[in-house]
């Protein structure tokens, strides 16, 4: 009887130890998923339906992100306290995509306070498949040469007139539906666009596969 009790006691200790190890591993895994707070001065891009608001990151106060007044924005009326917004911040080798609510907007200088962001994903640019030349497309109805494309965005060469931060439509001839995204950069005739939703540019079964040939 004593031997049985001893065995059960040992099993309980082993089980507790296994649970403790599993818990520690999970906590460590979760901590590795956490994204560091951006350095002061980083540009935070907030998506506002048809445009992007760009703000400088000024620091953290009581867990909330403090942002400067919008540098560029399509319409300030789209920035409202209480609304939940999506945004992104450039990070080493990738981009942090997050979602947060607007906690407060200063009526004096327009500075924005975000609630503690809930990070949805970290997108590693190095892990993305990028095709250097992928044919042609149409940006807001204007002809465009696809300089490169990846699941998260594209760089086009076009004479189409767009505005930095504007939400635009891109039609690829081999995709059945248009892609929508935001203009992140304009340099001469080159325009960088971040897609709203990731595109499957490698799946053989998608209509977009021909785009990469």
pLDDT, averaged across the chain = 76
Domain-wise residue ranges, the chain: 43-127, 136-212
What six digits make up the tokens of 39? 């350095």
CB count, 10 Å around CB of 180? 13
- Give 43-127's CATH code, choosing from 2.30.110.10, 3.30.1490.20, 3.30.1600.10, 3.40.50.9100: 2.30.110.10
Q: Using one digit for the tens of pLDDT, what is the confidence trace for 38-51?
A: 888 888 888 887 77
**Helix and strand numbers, DSSP H then E, in the chain:** 1, 13
Instruction: List alpha helices for the chain, DSSP H.
Output: 2-33
The whole-number pLDDT of residue 11 equals: 45
CATH number belonging to domain 136-212: 2.40.30
Model pLDDT for residues 145-170, shown as the tens digit of each residue: 999 898 888 999 999 998 888 889 99
pTM for the whole structure: 0.60
Nearest to 45, CA basis, from 208, 161, 192: 192
Rounded distance, CA 54 to CA 56, Å?
Answer: 7
């Amino acid at each position: 009887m004593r031997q049985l009790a001893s065995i059960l006691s040992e099993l309980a200790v082993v089980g507790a130890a296994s649970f403790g190890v599993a818990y520690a591993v999970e906590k460590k895994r979760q901590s590795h998923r956490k994204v560091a707070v951006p350095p002061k001065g980083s540009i935070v891009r907030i998506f506002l339906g048809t445009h992007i608001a760009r703000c400088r990151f000024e620091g953290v106060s009581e867990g909330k992100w403090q942002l400067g007044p919008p540098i560029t924005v399509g319409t300030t009326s789209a920035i409202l306290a209480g609304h939940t917004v999506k945004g992104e911040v450039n990070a080493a080798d990738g981009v942090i995509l997050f979602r947060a609510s607007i906690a407060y907007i200063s009526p004096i200088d327009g500075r924005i306070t975000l609630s503690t962001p809930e990070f949805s994903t970290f997108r590693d640019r190095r892990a993305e498949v990028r095709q250097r030349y992928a044919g042609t497309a149409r940006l807001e109805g204007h002809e465009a040469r696809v300089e490169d494309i990846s699941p998260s965005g594209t760089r086009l060469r076009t004479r189409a007139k767009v505005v930095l931060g504007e939400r635009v439509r891109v039609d690829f001839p081999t995709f059945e539906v248009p892609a929508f995204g935001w203009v992140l950069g304009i340099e001469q005739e080159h325009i960088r666009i971040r897609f709203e939703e990731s595109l499957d540019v490698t799946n053989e079964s998608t209509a977009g596969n021909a785009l990469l040939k």
